[in-house]
Structure 1
């Protein structure tokens, strides 16, 4: 039984909603997660897991399962119109470093991402929202509930967003695209196959092998041909066509993430072109940011969700839109994905309401940044973590809500760019909240969150 007004209602069980459920679950915060669809979503859909999202999955204890199910992005094998092939990469494979232990994008179909995130999460399928009025939520089952918070993770056509009358500003691309999951015998699975148009520059057909399956994700602009005929034009044969989508990319976002006790996250707040693999990852990180704040529950803290995430979504939307335009204009190297910003490791909340940098001369890593390796093992869990570099004075005793570590590893000090006694207070979402040389600053920071 759920006590009225004491739980969070998560609307939508895609990657964003499931990540939020996982975060609340580990905080011991009560929630219900509902999904209008009668069963988990199918289809490869968004297939890229960026390095920052891999760090989130590491923190949640899920990364080993994701790495077992997924694979690195393969080379592109371009089949030239005049014959012959050309191999190239979207981005070079990078070696792990102390600061970035997961430097490369991981590929796996979205249905598998949902499956892995949903394990152990009590999703109520076949249940949607029909109305939200004065804090009361009417469900499609006829039940009315009054949760403490509602989070709309219900996609680009979000019922929750529409109930708030929040505008969804942006544009819909003119270019259409077909995506489908297909089986093609005899086609090598060690490359992402690309067939350009007759001009050698435009895009005609792509077939990307989905790890852990016998399927390829087909992408193609509309040609008037059936999927079978399109594939046949490349000298191949389709034996099965599964999930299929014909769509125009939307590039839109909301002007606010919160209205009272109702929040928006993921595609309900921002939708992207698939170019650059940003949408799913940004949604997961919305949930990672919001989850611990919902668990703590203070209004001032919850206000920081919009203040931190809305600028991030705007920046990411700009990146994915530019990549979309490059592809639409058939620019040279339009498939390159070597911009470090795409990894989302540099996204930060510097200058935000929860970033307290007390040093007169901050180093390269400062309040508002993600906490880099090589000490991610110390950060796992729902607690705050106090990292004390070069510290000889007294420190508080570790507790369930705050772990305390003296850091003596020279590599860690080099990674955090500290030479003097310095305290880094890391938030539950593994962003650095406070940096100081005075323990009183840490105490005041924590007290202000209550």
Structure 2
């Protein structure tokens, strides 16, 4: 196993866990100048998918990493659902919502396994090999406490097929799931609790008249059942809920023991769908919980994805939220690895930004899951009377604005970083851009007379400065940018928008949020912000 004695880092970043959050963290850090290693205790990367959906914000953030085309090739971007309400069936078209400010105005159905495959392949193409079968055991300890090496590095103790080893790095990203070993060594409290219901996942062959081109949703008093034609061991993937049967020591969020075929068949029967189970290719019970870590870490150890927060499957937020963690953390680790100086204020913003965001998402999923699956009498009553509204639902679902609002809500428009230490409002204020800390929308623009979209301009890694038409020039040669050596790509890009009159400038972060805006392209204020985020060498 790799590892060198002494105080020289083997890599800048060690990522523990090769799920979507871990792979995205590695790709984002790598794209922004860091050297990375990824380890995962699984013997191989193939496993059944638990998540089946990507939302627009995650796709927007992944676009600069060059992986969205591969993801969309494997996805259904125009899904249609059939909602079964007793004897009523209601059609809902969930693709191509009326959302003009994003390149991904749709729900995207894609298996977690396919997401991991695309991200893993992108790492492979960049020369980073995931080390499977290597387990993180802890950090170097001395006198009963965690100790950094004399140089400020950390040493991870690892266990692989060939015995124990270690890895020295500047930073460690714990993306190792809800039972995270990394979270355990940070001392973070795991706040929340278990749900009284569990999920049942199964891949099935069905007899009956279910159209495989649709997502089928069955609403019953006991909860909702979903059937996707996205199975990996059979045609259909079922997600249903039932009263929890987990035992003490259950691994929440992980695939548990198989469910008896007759129990799976009963869940399909109880859903009211006109189908019967012919074959169960695979099944598992999944204990569910709602929890969040009290801290997402501090330098040099951080948490992301399921290691930092645990969701119900409602709204398909778990994988998306982990990817958004990773996109936020990865560029900061990259810049901190290459800036040539400590960047404590930048690294502190990871928790400042993502912990409140995760709390909001957890509240959303908790509310949705209450309506979908809670055994509470109020929730059961609401589900029981829902069929009474079936005759008017087609009229509502034909209104494109209603579908658009639902798709937008799942893309987390309520998440912003306005209170972040790296969200700066210059003087004078710029009026034509979102406030610092808010997402940059994908609006039309022109550069040198060429029509573009803003997200086309920002679809490469790094920071992007958007100059209004009459702004003064920015002398990049006078700004020693991070990773601007000949051997690495420049990570500071300037675009003059001839379509935007004015003298101002907006600074766009690598994860797609506005970090700085000013009504004048003042080089002093601009340099101060660039230095704060690590894009200026001293």
Shared fold (TM-score greater than 0.5)? yes
What residue in structure 1 maps to residue 421 of structure 2? 353
- Kept after mapping to 1: 8 A contact 2:464/2:508: yes
- Kept after mapping to 2: 8 A contact 1:174/1:248: no
CA distance in 2, matches of 1:258, 1:350: 21
Q: Cα distance, 1:345 vs. partner? A: 4.0
CA distance in 2, matches of 1:429, 1:74: 27
Match status 1:420 vs 2:502: yes
Aligned pairs for 1:274-353 within 5 A:
274-297=313-336, 298-327=343-372, 328=374, 329-330=379-380, 331=382, 338=406, 340-353=408-421
Q: Secondary structure at the match of 1:286?
A: helix
Find 1:131's aligned residue among 138, 146, 152.
Answer: 138
CA distance in 2, matches of 1:150, 1:139: 13
* Cα offsets for 1:258-294 (capped at 9, x unmatched): 1441110000000111101111111101111111111
Find 2:435's aligned residue among 347, 366, 374.
Answer: 366
Match status 1:162 vs 2:246: no
Aligned pairs for 1:185-334 within 5 A:
187-197=210-220, 201-203=221-223, 205-210=225-230, 215-222=235-242, 225-231=262-268, 234-297=273-336, 298-327=343-372, 328=374, 329-330=379-380, 331=382
What residue in structure 2 maps to residue 440 of structure 1? 524
What residue in structure 1 maps to residue 105 of structure 2? 103
CA distance in 1, matches of 2:316, 2:219: 21
Identify which range, 347-356 or 394-403, moves more after superposition.
394-403
Find 2:463's aligned residue among 375, 384, 399.
Answer: 384
Q: Secondary structure at the match of 1:143?
A: strand
Q: Secondary structure at the match of 2:406?
A: coil
CA distance in 2, matches of 1:262, 1:196: 43
* Cα offsets for 1:39-63 (capped at 9, x unmatched): 1142231111010011122221111
- Kept after mapping to 1: 8 A contact 2:84/2:217: yes
Identify which range, 239-248 or 292-301, moves more after superposition.
239-248
What residue in structure 1 maps to residue 513 of structure 2? 431
Using a 3 Å threshold, how does the CA distance of structure 1 residues 196 and 282 change in structure 2: closer, same or farther? closer
Q: Secondary structure at the match of 2:275?
A: coil
CA distance in 1, matches of 2:264, 2:437: 47
Find 1:406's aligned residue among 477, 496, 511.
Answer: 496
- Kept after mapping to 1: 8 A contact 2:231/2:237: no
- Kept after mapping to 2: 8 A contact 1:70/1:212: no
Q: Cα distance, 1:370 vs. partner? A: 1.8
When the two structures are superposed, what TM-score results if normalisation uses the length of structure 2? 0.75
- Kept after mapping to 1: 8 A contact 2:3/2:166: no
Q: Secondary structure at the match of 1:20?
A: helix
Q: Cα distance, 1:443 vs. partner? A: 1.1
CA distance in 2, matches of 1:27, 1:115: 22
Find 2:194's aligned residue among 172, 175, 198.
Answer: 172
Q: Secondary structure at the match of 1:117?
A: helix
CA distance in 1, matches of 2:418, 2:74: 35
* Cα offsets for 1:123-175 (capped at 9, x unmatched): 11111111223233211221022221111100001011112221110121112
Q: Cα distance, 1:96 vs. partner? A: 4.8
Superposition CA RMSD, Å: 2.7
CA distance in 2, matches of 1:177, 1:238: 18
- Kept after mapping to 1: 8 A contact 2:471/2:502: no
Using a 3 Å threshold, how does the CA distance of structure 1 residues 220 and 449 change in structure 2: closer, same or farther? closer
Identify which range, 44-53 or 386-395, moves more after superposition.
386-395
Q: Cα distance, 1:392 vs. partner? A: 4.3
* Cα offsets for 1:240-274 (capped at 9, x unmatched): 43443313321100111114411100000001111
Q: Cα distance, 1:362 vs. partner? A: 4.2
Could you say which structure has the larger radius of gyration? 2
- Kept after mapping to 2: 8 A contact 1:257/1:264: yes
When the two structures are superposed, what TM-score results if normalisation uses the length of structure 1? 0.89
- Kept after mapping to 1: 8 A contact 2:311/2:317: yes
What residue in structure 2 maps to residue 416 of structure 1? none
What residue in structure 1 maps to residue 14 of structure 2? 9
Match status 1:396 vs 2:475: yes
- The number of equivalent residue pairs is 436
- Kept after mapping to 2: 8 A contact 1:70/1:211: no
